[in-house]
Chains A and B, each alone.
Chain A
Amino acid sequence: MTKYRINKTRFVDQTKNVSFTFDGKKYHGFEGDTLASALLSNGIHLVGRSFKYHRPRGIMSCGSEEPNAICQINDNTDLTEPNVRATEIELYEGLKASSQNCWPSRHFDIGGINNLISQFIPAGFYYKTFMWPKSFWKKIYEPLIRLSAGLGKSPTQPDPEIYDHKHEHCDVLVIGGGISGIISAKIAAQNNLKTILIEDKNILGGSTIYQNNKNFIIDNQKSNEWLMNEISELEKLDNLIIKTRTSLAAFHSYNYLLAKENISDHLPLDKKNGNIRQRLWKIRADKVIVAAGAIERPLIFNNNDRPGIILANSVKKYLDFYGVSTGLNNIIFTNNDSAYETAVSLFEKGISVKIVDIRKKSSSNIVKNAEDLGIKIYWHSTVVNTFGYKKIKSIEIMNLSEDGSNVTGNKRKIQCDCLSISGGWTPMVHMHTQSGGKLDFREIDQVFVPSEKSENHINVGSCNGDFELEEIFKNTNNKVKKFLNINESGFDKISVLCSKELEKKNIWLLPNTISEGKTKSFIDFQNDSTAKDIKLALREGFKSIEHVKRYTTTGMATDQGKLSNMHALGIIADTAGVKMGTLGTTTFRPPFTPLTFGAIVGRSVGKFFDVVRKTSIHEWHVQNNAKFENVGQWKRPWYYPINNENLHEAVQRESKTARDSAGILDASTLGKIDIQGSDASEFLNRVYTNAWSKLGIGKCRYGLMLNEDGMVYDDGVTTRLGENHYLMTTTTGGAANVLSKLEDYLQTEWPELDVYLTSVTDHYSTASICGPNSKKILKKLFPNKDFSDEAFPHMSYQDAIIDKIECRIMRISFTGELSYEINIESKYGKSLWENCIKAGEEYKITPYGTETMHLLRAEKGFIIVGQDTDGTMTPIDLQMDWIVSKKKYDFIGKRSLYRSDTIRDDRKQLVGLLTDDPNEILEEGAQIVSELDKKRVEMIGHVTSSYFSPNLNKSIALAVVKGGKKMKGQKLFVPMENKNINVTVSDFIFLDKENKKINA
């Protein structure tokens, strides 16, 4: 055993040695230790430097509230992890930890120079100093701040660990495995309710499990003995799930909670591999019992941040739970009775201890116990200074004046190697407020306690403001019974004895002889903000707690102000002379403790990040060297390079071949909606701008769909398959939205219509063959079919059979070429495609991708919804007046087409643009101006589509320009970074305006 491991406990197995390194040096601890307890057992207090002043800092607590002992795990590796609290991480063989925020080492720290110039770093320093000149921010200030702030290093490689998500439902969820949580869980589970108990530590029992003091008796046993038995009883219950190492992250409305379970973080390296690291539980609970406990408050006095200054209850836990003494010559500085339990524990282990208490006296049993043992108590006194650079060596104390507002008498110096501080307790009301609960302020001990309103959750134990064992026990039992509608419990007749605190006193900022400006009384240890900073913020006019918090950064570090928020509030209230309860608290936001990104995303990483949709022809595209682009979730062939062609070269070749001979496109991704019902034609009349009633069976028609605001929403070809049966196609990206919009109208506005919609996008594969030779290829594929213009005209469809499989052939065109689309059941898509390629071989048919498709349709002046439109274009703006029915009384968006705003003639309108230099290709998105010589020129439009057309041998572009309809022939300019491009407004149909090709 080391010098500081002075006690054997049942929680740490001292037969099982665990070795680890800290800052590169090897140490030993035992199984059951945390990194913090193992460091303390080796006499190590100094674990890092503070954020702003780089003051030496030591371990201060034993839990999630720890502000100082924040470590980097596996430093200098690709997978290093920052911001791990030494007080929470369980020791395992091979653990490599190092201190954070100090360079070159925690013993010699260059940033410590900030400590010497600290009077020049007041609240708001960063805001005031690093503001000007603006150009300094990116190159000088930000790197400087980041370098000296240094809150750990991020890993540089993707996280290889496995994370999991799991949904769980239960009748009762109990948060916290201390005594009140255990009582609650037992009552619930014994009454046939499916119960889950979660506890963030590795064992149940909270602080009672090591409360080995004769003043705390339950059922005639010491409270720890009694609780030990209760826990073994609890573990036998059938309908209770106990989850240790599981911390609550968030408590949302409707009792929806997130909890993070650590599954393998505590395992030695050789046993971690392959295990899930953490699991995020998504729990929907009928009822929630919060038993989250309380956090001990520090005291705020000059130099209250030296290594060796530790919260009193943590000192007790290190001693009674881990068997480690945080010092051999202790002083306890307190304003309440709970620290006396620590004193008695230390004394009983033979360790020197003295007490400084700000109260005049206390008449409780535990204080009497300490007095009887002969422990020296300095009543009505306060610490005014501490000494020792890397570890506390001594303190100075003085008497308090009668009202406690000042100090009197002489300073007295006392030697020590550890100062335990206790400023009372703060109930953990975070869960309660996260769920929407409100708080009340309790004057007597200055705490915010839950104000119970919810029917579906309660708070019990110290998080509810019950601090004494007897009230915890009785109140928990009674509240839980009432909450769960239970008449009797096994706890009704159990007697509880405990020490009771009668004298209470609190001073948020302890008085001193020297002026505040010259003291360092830390409130937020992690962010290095002091009482002085809070007062400065108030003097500078900040009033709201939220503003003071942001200005001073109090409570904004990774501990979210668990130790500091109450003191900040108290000092603000005292300084401003208002009641603390009227100030309100800052908002407690989830997560309660930081969550890893891994736990948040769970399994949704890599190939599981999003759904990938592939057409049935996909494999052929891969084998034929297609490059793909993502269109929504679909993978679509973008282009098919041959012999190292780049995008431009491949697209030029593909589009030339398609126009000169034949091309084939996988159009399977287009949205397809099957529409049936006796009112199908009427329905189409209402959702499209053009008329549908007279469309013959077997005919196809292009339709434009608007939003109710008159703006173009989607387009596509719809085919009349039968009297009451249509097949609608939509854009690839718009399919799901169109279906849901149509459903919305059907269900809510026109429920009288007899129409049924079914998404059949995935049911059919589509091969689209275009080009002057397409008819010949179709003839080869379907030798029995008559493809003459009379038998099979443009914009019509016919059923056909290929390889005994039924299919549909639509003669429709998006390229301006003679073109056929063959739709076949998806599973035959690839075979159909291969047949088409084979039949087209003699015509050098080329597969083409989306890029060539875009080019071909742009040559023909066909719009792409979402590329040439952006939700602000009406059909009139697009010069598509021809498709807007004048005869129909109504359709979606009709009324909006003659609102005063939509009939303005200076709206942006679709035009064609030709560059004066035919080889100059405009950039899509480029702005357009009509004059260059002014300092500020109006941007009158932008380029929406731009290509080099191999068929026209010049650059072409589509654009939207204010009042563009009337500008044909006008010269405009496209200003780029280093030149201005001269363009001329043209017709937006660049090729075959007479539709000779389509009808060839």
Chain B
Amino acid sequence: MFVINCPYCGERDQSEFSCGGEAHIVRPKQPTELSDDEWAEYLFMRKNIKGVQFERWNHTHGCRKWFNMVRDTSNDKIHAVYKMGEKPPVI
């Protein structure tokens, strides 16, 4: 169980958080203008890689804020934590 440094609260146990999957997938502004394939790309396709991954996390049992996190899924090392809307760091 890892420790996550919530950008609003500080270091807390992983059990307080929930993961919301891959980060930086933006909801299309004009969904009605997309083809089925383009919409499906947004709706269904998610990466699940072994290695460095950009993820969305929510401090569910804390401040309830969503934020982004860069985690190496092979060893759970957390490279960066940053707020929604901030630019992803270069890892």
Contact residues of A with B, CB < 8 Å?
A: 252-254, 256, 284, 436, 708-709, 740, 743-744, 747-749, 751, 889-890, 894-896, 899-900
Contact = CB atoms under 8 A, between A and B. Distances in A.
Nearest to B60: A740
A748 B28 CA distance: 13
A822 B38 CA distance: 47
5 contacts: A256-B2, A284-B13, A708-B43, A748-B56, A895-B32
Given A436-B75, A744-B66, A747-B65, A895 B39 contact: yes
A899 B1 contact: no
Contacts of B32: 889-890, 894-895
A103 to B, nearest CB: 43
A284 B12 CA distance: 11
Given A890-B32, A895-B32, A748 B84 contact: yes
Nearest to A707: B43
A252 B1 CA distance: 6
B27 A749 contact: yes
Smallest CB-CB A-B distances: 9 pairs: A895-B31, A254-B2, A747-B66, A256-B1, A749-B27, A253-B76, A895-B39, A254-B3, A748-B66
B85 interface: yes
Contacts, number: 52
B78 to A, nearest CB: 9
Interface string B1-18: 111000000000100000
- Residue from the set B43, B58, B60 with the largest chain A CB neighbour count within 10 Å: B43
Nearest to A254: B2
A436 B60 CA distance: 27
B81 to A, nearest CB: 14
A900 B66 CA distance: 33
B58 A740 contact: yes
Interface in B29-44: 30-32, 34, 36, 39-40, 43
A889 B32 CA distance: 8
A153 to B, nearest CB: 34
A185 to B, nearest CB: 24
B64 interface: yes
A899 B39 contact: yes
Contacts of A895: 28, 31-32, 34, 39
B56 to A, nearest CB: 7
B32 to A, nearest CB: 6
B20 interface: yes
Contacts of A889: 32
Contacts of A253: 1-2, 75-76
A284 B39 contact: no
Contacts of B40: 899
A284 B3 contact: yes
Given A253-B76, A256-B2, A899-B40, 17 more contacts: A252-B1, A253-B1, A254-B1, A254-B76, A436-B75, A708-B43, A747-B65, A747-B84, A748-B84, A749-B26, A751-B84, A889-B32, A894-B31, A895-B32, A895-B39, A896-B43, A899-B36
Contacts of A740: 58, 60, 64
Contact of B31 (A709, A743, A748, A890): A890
B39 A896 contact: yes
Contacts of A284: 3, 13
Nearest to A739: B64
Interface string B72-91: 00011000000011000000
Nearest to B18: A740
Nearest to B27: A749
A343 to B, nearest CB: 46
A253 B85 CA distance: 30
A761 to B, nearest CB: 15
Contacts of A894: 31-32
Contacts of B1: 252-254, 256
A700 B31 CA distance: 29
A899 B37 CA distance: 9
Contacts of A252: 1
Contacts of B39: 895-896, 899
Contacts of A743: 64, 66
- Residue from the set B26, B36, B60, B75 with the largest chain A CB neighbour count within 10 Å: B36
A604 to B, nearest CB: 14
Nearest to A743: B64
Contacts of A256: 1-2
Contact of A744 (B3, B13, B34, B58): B58
A718 B13 CA distance: 36
A889 B65 CA distance: 28
A749 B32 CA distance: 17
Contacts of B66: 743-744, 747-748
Contacts of B27: 708, 749
Contacts of B34: 895
B2 to A, nearest CB: 4
Contact of A709 (B20, B43, B65): B43
Contacts of A254: 1-3, 76
A142 to B, nearest CB: 37
Contacts of B28: 895
- Residue from the set A254, A708, A744, A896 with the largest chain B CB neighbour count within 10 Å: A254
A890 B26 CA distance: 15
Nearest to B20: A744
A802 to B, nearest CB: 35
Nearest to A708: B43
Contacts of B56: 748
Nearest to B2: A254
A641 B32 CA distance: 53
A748 B27 CA distance: 10
A270 to B, nearest CB: 39
A615 to B, nearest CB: 24
A749 B42 CA distance: 13
B83 to A, nearest CB: 10
A899 B31 CA distance: 12
A256 B84 CA distance: 28
A899 B28 CA distance: 16
B22 to A, nearest CB: 12
Contacts of A751: 84-85
Nearest to A253: B76
B63 to A, nearest CB: 11
A890 B32 CA distance: 8
Contacts of A744: 20, 58, 66
Contacts of B84: 747-748, 751
Contacts of B13: 284
- Residue from the set A252, A253, A894, A899 with the largest chain B CB neighbour count within 10 Å: A253
A253 B1 CA distance: 6
Contacts of A708: 27, 43
B88 to A, nearest CB: 14
Contact of B36 (A436, A890, A900): A900
A390 to B, nearest CB: 49
A744 B30 CA distance: 19
Contacts of A709: 43
A900 B1 CA distance: 42
B82 to A, nearest CB: 13
A634 B39 CA distance: 38
Nearest to B76: A253
Nearest to A256: B1
A626 B80 CA distance: 54
Contacts of B3: 254, 284
B65 to A, nearest CB: 7
Contacts of B31: 890, 894-895
A66 B26 CA distance: 58
Nearest to A258: B1
Nearest to B34: A895
Contacts of A436: 75
A253 B58 CA distance: 20
Contacts of B36: 899-900
Nearest to A749: B27
Contacts of B30: 890
A321 B62 CA distance: 52
B89 to A, nearest CB: 18
